[in-house]
Amino acid sequence: MEKKERPLSPHLGIYKPQLTSVTSILHRITGVGLAFGTGIFIWFLIALGWSENCFDCFHYFITSFAGRLVIFFWMLGMAYHLVNGIRHLIWDMGYGFKIEDANKSAIVVFIISIIVAVSSVCVAY
pLDDT digits (tens, 9 = 90+) for 18-42: 898 899 999 999 999 999 888 988 9
Q: Examine residue 10 and say whether the peptide bond preceding it is cis (omega within 30 degrees of 0).
A: yes
Asked whether the predicted pLDDT for residue 123 surpasses 90, the reply is: no
Asked whether the predicted pLDDT for residue 1 surpasses 70, the reply is: no
For 37, 43, 82, 115, 121, the CA distances from 110, given in Å and listed in that order, are 20, 29, 11, 9, 17
CA 112 to CA 109: how far, in whole Å? 5
Residues 6 or more apart whose CB falls under 8 angstroms from that of 85 comprise 27
**Rounded to two decimals, what is the model's pTM?**
0.79
Q: Which of the four pLDDT bands, split at 50, 70 and 90, describes residue 71?
A: confident
CA 108 to CA 119: how far, in whole Å? 16
Residues 6 or more apart whose CB falls under 8 angstroms from that of 49 comprise none
